[in-house]
Amino acid sequence: MSTAKVPEIEYAAFDAMKEVASSLKAACLTRAAEAGNEVESQWWIRQNWLVEDMVGEVDATDIEAIRSAAALFAQRLEALSTEHKAA
């Protein structure tokens, strides 16, 4: 069985996307821990799972898919950060 060779730029971009996703997952789990009730806590935990699922679906050889996912994760992370500062 052969393995597809991933160009360095895609590899670096994929790694960077995973770092942003990791930060977003941490923010979701922090929100879950801070939640005032079980329903809200579970919602944040499910958001964490959604990010995990999305990372798993990104093709590591498709630079546009990687960039799109990274942009989405970064946008959501920024929104959570802004919401947290306002609270």
Specify the pLDDT at position 4: 62
Residue 21 has pLDDT above 50, yes or no: yes
Q: How many domains are there within the chain? A: 1
Percent of the chain with pLDDT strictly greater than 70: 92
Per-residue pLDDT band at 11 (split at 50, 70, 90): confident
pLDDT at 1 over 50: no
Q: What is the mean pLDDT of residues 30-55?
A: 96
Per the CB < 8 A criterion, the answer to whether 44 and 35 are in contact is: yes
- Residue 53 domain-assigned (yes or no): yes
Residue 27 included in any domain = yes
Helices (H), 35-62: 38-57
Please indicate, yes or no, if residue 1 is contained in any of the structural domains: no
CB under 8 A, 24+ apart: contacts of 48-52: 51/21, 51/24, 51/25, 52/21, 52/25
Report how far residue 49's alpha carbon sits from residue 36's, in angstroms, rounded to the nearest whole number: 20
Whether residue 18 is contained in a domain is answered as yes
In a domain, 3, yes or no: no
**Domain ranges, residue 54:** 8-86
